Structure 1
Amino acid sequence: MNNPSSAKFSLVPGILSALVCALLPALAVHAQGLRPVVPAQRLLGPAAAPAPAGATRQADYIVAVVNSEPITNTEVRVRLLRTEQQIAQQGLAMPPRREMVTQILDRMIIDKAQLQLAKTSGIRVEESAVEGAVETVARQNQITVEELRRRLRADGIDYNQFRSELRDEMLVSRLRQREVEPRVVVTEQDIDQFLAEQAGAGAATPEALNLAEILVPVPETATADQVSALQARAQQVVERARAGGDFAALALEFSGSATRSTGGQMGLRDVDRYPPLFVEAVKTLPVGGLAGPVRSGAGFHILKVIEKRQAGMPSMAITQTRARHILLRPSPQLSEAAAIEKLAGLRQQVVAGQADFAALARDNSEDASAKDGGDLGWAGPGLFVPEFENAMNGLAPNQISQPLVSRFGVHLIQVLERRNTQLSPREQRELARSVLRERKLGEAVALWAQEVRGRAYVEYREAPQ
C-alpha cells in the first residue's frame, strides 16, 4: 500500500487508532461495553449548600493556568475518576491517590499545551472527519451511532461536548504526525545492532504474548449468588474449550469483551502491556494452553496463549496472510461517511455474487495495488498499520471485512489465504526496522511533549482536591 502497502513494515498507529486509544479513558470502554465517564455532577455529589456570608471559596476553582487557559479542580477530579476506572478494569494495583492527582495534572497541562499549539499551527479537522471518528468509536464498540448517543445521554454527557473532545484529539494527533514522525530515522546500523542483541538475548529476554480472551462480565452491582452463577458459566466455557471447542466461536457466543469479533485475540504485545494477573496466569503455559477462569474487576476471563515471542522481535516461524483491498481516500468531493457507504455497497455486490472483488478494486481503489486487483501479496505480522492488520487478522480466508477506517482512508479487505513460513534475512531486517521505528517514535513523542510543555507558560494556583 502506499496505503496499507507502503505502510508495510510500519507499526505507527493511524490517527483514528491513536484517537480511540486516547479517548478510551474518557469513554471507559471495557469488556462490559461502553461506559462513559461519570459526569462531574455525579462525581462531586449533590450541589453544595450556599457558602456562609463572607466565604470566598467556591464549589470549583482554578488549579493551574496554561498560556492563559485555566484547568479547574472539577476537570482534574473527572480525569482522576476516569483513570481509577481504567486501572480497576485492568485489574491493576491502585497507586496512591496523591501521586495520581499530581501525575494527572501534569498530563492535563501537557495535553492543553499541545492542543493550543495545534490550534495555532493552522491544523484543521473537517466535519466529515469528526463524523467518521464518531462512527469509528461506535463501530469499535459494536453499537450504532444512535446507540452511542443514547448511552452518552443516559450518563449525562453532552453529545456536542463528546464531538468536541474527538476533534481535539484529532487535532493533536495530526500535529504529532507533522512534527514528530519526520524526526524518527532508523539506520542500517541500528538494525544490525538490534538483530545482534536479539540473537544473544536468548531465553533471558522477556516474552511478548498474544492472548485470546473470553470474558464473562460481572456487573458492579452483582450479588454473591449472581457472581457464583457467572463463575459457573465461565467454568463451563473453559471446559468446552479444553474439550476441543473452537475458541473463536466460543468467544463470539459468550464473551462480553470488545475482542469477541476477532476471536478474542488481543494482539501481540510485550508482557508489560498486559494486566499482571493475565501474565501470571499464563506464564507456564505453552502455545495453545488455556487458563482460567481468572477474576478481575470486569468479570471472569478465560485466556488462551496464541503466541509467545521474545520481546520486540517475532520468531523465525510466522503466519503470513495474503489479502487484497479496495481503498477510498476521503476528500472534499467524497466524505468519509460517503466512502464507507460506497464500500458497503461494493461489499454487498461481492457477497451476493454480482461482482468480482478484483475487478471492483481495479475500477475503484485509489491504492497502488489497484492494478493487481487490490492484491497486497504475502504479509507477516507487523507489516501493516495496526488498525488494518487487526481487522485483517480477524477474517477467515475468503471473508470480506466491513468498511474499515485507517490513517490512509477507508478500506474493504478480503483475506485470500494464509500460510506458515520462515522469515528470510530481508524480512527479519524489515521487521526489525518496524520494531525500532515504533520504539523510536514513542521516545520522540515523549521528548516532543516535554518540549511543548517547556515552551508553555504554566502558573499553578490552588492544589487540586
Structure 2
Amino acid sequence: MTDRFFLHIRPPIWLACATLLWSLSVHAQGLRSSGQLDVPRSAPASAGASNVQGTADYIVALVNSEPVTNNEVRQRLVRVEQQMAQQGAAMPARDQLARQVLEQIINERIQIQQATELGITVNEADVTQAEESIAAQNQLSPEQFRQRLAAEGMDINRLRNDLRSQILLQRVRERQVDSRVRVTEADIDDFIREQQGSNVLANLELNLGHILFIVPEGASPERIKELQDKAQGVAERARAGGDFAQLAREFSEAPERVNGGQFGMRPAERLPSLFVDATRSLNVGAVAGPLRSPAGFHILKVLDKRQAGMPDVNVNQTRARHILLRPDGQLSQADAVARLNGWRQQLASGQTTFEALAREHSQDGSASQGGDLGWANPGQFVPEFEQAMNSLRPGEVSAPLISRFGAHLIKVEERRQTRLSAREQREIVRGLVREKKTDEALRAWGQDVRGRAFIEYREAPQR
C-alpha cells in the first residue's frame, strides 16, 4: 500500500467533497501533498453557485491560449472559503484569496496540458471507479450517491469532470516526478548525520532527570559548601549506576521529584540554557553536575534525546488482519462493500471467524495467513487504511474501507510498544528522505512547466 485515495464524506456531500481543495495551493507551488489523489470538488447552487452564475462572465487569464474565466475562479473561491470556514482556518482578504485561487487554477491547467502532451489519458471506467469509491466510502450504492448529490444541488457531470482532472494531475505528477526520485544509502547517511550533528536547538528534544539541592537565600559559605558536597556525593552515586529515580525521590527538592526527577521529553528551547549547555553533547545515560544556579545545585541525567525529523526509537506497533476484495469486471465496488458488510454481520453474530473469512475470500497475499498483516510500524500503510486501523480497539472490526487497492475489512488483534532496530529506523528515514526529495522535485517540475507556459493576465477576478 503506497498511496492515499479517498476520504470519508459526510453530509453535506458537496462540502465534504471539497475537504482537500485547499491542499491544491500546495500543488500550485509544486509541492507534494502526501501523494494523495485529491477528492473532487463541486459546490451546489445552494452554496452560492447561483450567485456566481448570475455574474457576467469574462476571461481573467489565458494559459497557452486556453481561457480561465471569472466564474471558474468564483466557483472555486466559494468552495475554498466554505472549506476554510469548516476547518476554522484564518481567512485572508477575499481579493488575496481570489488571486491565490486563480494561481491554483493556472498551475493545474498547465499541468493538465502537460499530461495531454505526454499522451496521458483517463478513461470513463477510471472516472466511474473513482465515483464508486466515494460512494462506497460513504456506505452508499452508486445510485444512492447520485441521488444524494442531486438532493444537494450538485451536478454529477461537473463532479466527474473534476475527478477526471484530479486523476490526470496525479498521473502526470507520478510519471514526471515520483518515478524519477531515488533514495540511496548515502542519502540516508547524510540525513542522519545532518540531524544528529545539528547544533540548532529547534531540532533537539531532551528528557532529563533532575535533582535539585536548594541553596537558601543568604546561606553562609559553610552551608553552601555543605550542600555542594552533598550534591557531589549524589552525583557520584548516579554516575556509578545508582537508580536516578530513587535518588531524586530521596534527595531532590524540585517538584518533579514525585516523577523520579523526570521532566519528560521537551524541546531544548523550553529548558533552561544551563541545563541544555551541560547535556546537549552527552550521550543517553550520562550524568552532568553538580551545576550551580541562583536556585541551588543541580544534577542532571540524560534519559532520552532525539533530533526533530528523526524517527522515534520506541514506537507503538499494531498487529491487524484484513480482507481485501479487488473490484473488476465481475465485481463492482458497491458489490464488494455489500459482501464485506454481510461478513461483518456474520462476525458480529459469531457465525464465523475473521481468519476463516480471510482465508476463503481475501484477494491479498495475506489470505493464507488468515489476513494477518504482522506487526506494523506507524506509517507502514496508506493513511486512510492506517487511520481506520488506529481508530479500532483490539478485537474490533472496521466498516468496509476503500483504498486504491480495493475494499477492505480490518480487524485489530493487539498492540504493543517496541524499540525499532537500526534497520527499521533507516527504513523510516528512507521514507522521510523520499518525501523531501519528492517535494523538491515536484516544486522544481511545477516551476519548470510554468516557466515554459504562456500566461496572459486579463481583468482581475471580481467577487
TM-score range, shorter chain: 0.5 to 0.7
1:322: how far off?
A: 0.4
Q: Which amino acid aligns with 1:76?
A: V
Question: Does 2:127 align with 1:130?
Answer: yes
Q: CA 1:194 to 1:415, structure 2 compared with 1: closer, same or farther past 3 Å?
A: same
Question: Does 2:321 align with 1:324?
Answer: yes
The CA distance in 2 between the partners of 1:19 and 1:177, in whole Å, is 25
1:389: how far off?
A: 0.9
1:463: how far off?
A: 2.6
Q: Which amino acid aligns with 1:340?
A: V
For residue 430 of structure 1, what is the aligned residue in structure 2? 427
For residue 107 of structure 1, what is the aligned residue in structure 2? 104
Residue pair 1:316, 1:423 contacting (<8 A) in 2 also: yes
The CA distance in 2 between the partners of 1:106 and 1:72, in whole Å, is 13
Question: Does 2:325 align with 1:345?
Answer: no
For residue 247 of structure 1, what is the aligned residue in structure 2? none
Spell out, residue by residue over 1:120-153, the C-alpha distance to the aligned partner (whole angstroms, 9 max, x if none). 5444445554344335445666877677545644
Task: Report 1:217-296 matches (<5 A).
Answer: none
Residue pair 2:5, 2:403 contacting (<8 A) in 1 also: yes
Q: Which amino acid aligns with 2:342?
A: G
Residue pair 1:186, 1:436 contacting (<8 A) in 2 also: yes
For residue 198 of structure 1, what is the aligned residue in structure 2? 195
Alignment match of 1:16 (pick from 6, 10, 17): 6
1:156: how far off?
A: 3.3
Residue pair 2:340, 2:400 contacting (<8 A) in 1 also: yes
Residue pair 1:15, 1:174 contacting (<8 A) in 2 also: no
For residue 385 of structure 1, what is the aligned residue in structure 2? 382
Q: Secondary structure at the match of 1:76?
A: helix
For residue 260 of structure 1, what is the aligned residue in structure 2? none
For residue 91 of structure 1, what is the aligned residue in structure 2? 88
1:192: how far off?
A: 1.8
The CA distance in 2 between the partners of 1:66 and 1:25, in whole Å, is 28
For residue 454 of structure 1, what is the aligned residue in structure 2? 451
Q: CA 1:198 to 1:139, structure 2 compared with 1: closer, same or farther past 3 Å?
A: farther
Q: Which amino acid aligns with 2:66?
A: E
Aligned residues, how many?
Answer: 340
Alignment match of 2:438 (pick from 409, 425, 441): 441
Q: Secondary structure at the match of 2:397?
A: coil
For residue 408 of structure 1, what is the aligned residue in structure 2? 405
For residue 229 of structure 1, what is the aligned residue in structure 2? none
For residue 157 of structure 2, what is the aligned residue in structure 1? 160
Alignment match of 2:351 (pick from 347, 351, 354): 354
Residue pair 2:141, 2:334 contacting (<8 A) in 1 also: no
Q: CA 1:462 to 1:436, structure 2 compared with 1: closer, same or farther past 3 Å?
A: same
Question: Does 2:205 align with 1:189?
Answer: no
Q: CA 1:110 to 1:43, structure 2 compared with 1: closer, same or farther past 3 Å?
A: same
TM-score by structure 1 length? 0.62
Identity of aligned residues (%): 53
The CA distance in 1 between the partners of 2:112 and 2:52, in whole Å, is 32
Structure 1 residues without counterparts, runs of 5 or longer: 8-12, 49-57, 208-308
The CA distance in 1 between the partners of 2:426 and 2:181, in whole Å, is 17
Question: Which is greater in Rg?
Answer: 2
Q: Secondary structure at the match of 1:16?
A: coil
Q: Which amino acid aligns with 1:37?
A: A
Supply the RMSD in Å over aligned alpha carbons.
3.7
1:332: how far off?
A: 3.4
The CA distance in 2 between the partners of 1:80 and 1:385, in whole Å, is 30
1:119: how far off?
A: 4.5
TM-score by structure 2 length? 0.63
1:335: how far off?
A: 3.2
Q: CA 1:351 to 1:79, structure 2 compared with 1: closer, same or farther past 3 Å?
A: same
The CA distance in 2 between the partners of 1:95 and 1:84, in whole Å, is 10
Q: Which amino acid aligns with 2:402?
A: V
Residue pair 1:26, 1:37 contacting (<8 A) in 2 also: no
Residue pair 2:42, 2:155 contacting (<8 A) in 1 also: no
Q: Secondary structure at the match of 1:376?
A: strand
Spell out, residue by residue over 1:204-260, the C-alpha distance to the aligned partner (whole angstroms, 9 max, x if none). 2389xxxxxxxxxxxxxxxxxxxxxxxxxxxxxxxxxxxxxxxxxxxxxxxxxxxxx
The CA distance in 2 between the partners of 1:19 and 1:183, in whole Å, is 33
Question: Does 2:122 align with 1:116?
Answer: no
1:381: how far off?
A: 0.7
Q: Which amino acid aligns with 2:459?
A: E
Of residues 60-69 and 420-429 in structure 1, the stretch that sits farther from structure 2 once superposed is 60-69
Q: Secondary structure at the match of 1:324?
A: strand
